[in-house]
């Protein structure tokens, strides 16, 4: 059973099927992403599944992803989410928006109460590696993508964060600060390799089969 399912996921990722375009054709062979296409490797499985549902339902809008997500079954969503959550890839993100890295670090670690912005790391983990199930990793994400998401929340075309948390933060940061924090986050190391068994202990949606323990 498990073997058949993982073979299906490999096909979806690498070759695609019908309206489901190959994920790797945009997100890269290792889920590393590029520019405004996000890195998926190492995001919490539940977060990935939520985003695919949000694209299906339109609380998050992107033409390509709406098209792909609407063609996915619930089983495929769960299998793809688990696939990317355990994937590890070196970072290909580099600061590229001419952001002030010191300012970006300040926003990420301490926040800036003068503009009502809390430290990003209070929710996204002390190293930006994310906290399953709800908070995605920000470390090693592509800066053009990160800055764009903050702008999309501010503008309302992404309106899917619980309690509107990220909409408030996106609005409070001006363009210069969005570029600063996005570039700083891109300079960080990616989520480190962790045995699947340990990941499963913090993220219940990750399946563990025999042989994953080492």
**Sites of contact with ligand HEC (CB under 6 A):** 12, 20-21, 23, 25-27, 36-38, 40, 43, 48, 50-52, 60, 62, 64-65, 68, 80, 107, 117-118, 120, 122-124, 134-136, 138, 146, 148-150, 160-162, 165-166, 169, 181
- Cβ-based nearer residue to ligand HEC, 29 or 195: 29
Minimum gap (Å) between residue 197 Cβ and ligand HEC: 24
Minimum gap (Å) between residue 214 Cβ and ligand HEC: 27
- Cβ-based nearer residue to ligand HEC, 5 or 211: 5
| Residue 188 tokens, joined | 């960080």
Minimum gap (Å) between residue 2 Cβ and ligand HEC: 19
Other Cβ atoms within 10 Å of 203 Cβ, number: 20
Minimum gap (Å) between residue 210 Cβ and ligand HEC: 26
The 3 state secondary structure assigned to the chain is CHHHHHHHHHHHHHCCECCECCHHHHHCCCCCCECCECCCCCCCHHHHHHHHHHHHHCCECCHHHHHHHHCCCHHHHHHHHHHHHCCCCCCCCCCCCCCCHHHHHHHHHCCEHHHCECCHHHHHCCCCCCECCCECCCCCCCHHHHHHHHHHHHHCCECCCHHHHHHHHHHHCCHHHHHHHHHHHHCCCCCCCCCHHHHHHHCCCCCCCCCCCC
Minimum gap (Å) between residue 1 Cβ and ligand HEC: 21
- Cβ-based nearer residue to ligand HEC, 86 or 150: 150
């Amino acid at each position: 059973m498990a073997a058949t399912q993982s073979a299906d996921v490999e096909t979806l990722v690498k070759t695609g099927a019908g309206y489901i375009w190959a994920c790797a054709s945009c997100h890269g062979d290792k889920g590393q992403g590029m520019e405004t296409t996000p890195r998926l490797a190492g995001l919490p499985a539940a977060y990935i599944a939520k985003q695919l549902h949000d694209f299906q339902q339109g609380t998050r809008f992107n033409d390509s992803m709406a098209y792909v997500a609407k063609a996915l079954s619930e089983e495929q969503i769960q299998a793809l989410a688990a696939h990317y959550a355990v994937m590890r890839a070196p970072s290909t993100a580099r600061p590229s928006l001419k952001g002030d890295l010191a300012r970006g670090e300040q926003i990420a670690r301490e926040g800036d109460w003068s503009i009502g912005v809390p430290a990003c790391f209070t929710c996204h983990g002390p190293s930006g590696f994310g906290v399953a199930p709800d908070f995605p990793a920000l470390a090693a994400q592509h800066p053009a993508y990160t800055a764009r998401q903050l702008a999309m929340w501010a503008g309302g075309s992404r309106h899917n964060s619980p309690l509107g948390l990220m909409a408030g933060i996106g609005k409070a940061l001006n363009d210069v600060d969005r570029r600063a924090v996005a570039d700083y986050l891109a300079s960080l190391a990616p989520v480190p390799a962790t045995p699947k068994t340990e990941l499963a202990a913090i993220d219940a949606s990750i399946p563990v089969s025999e042989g994953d323990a080492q």
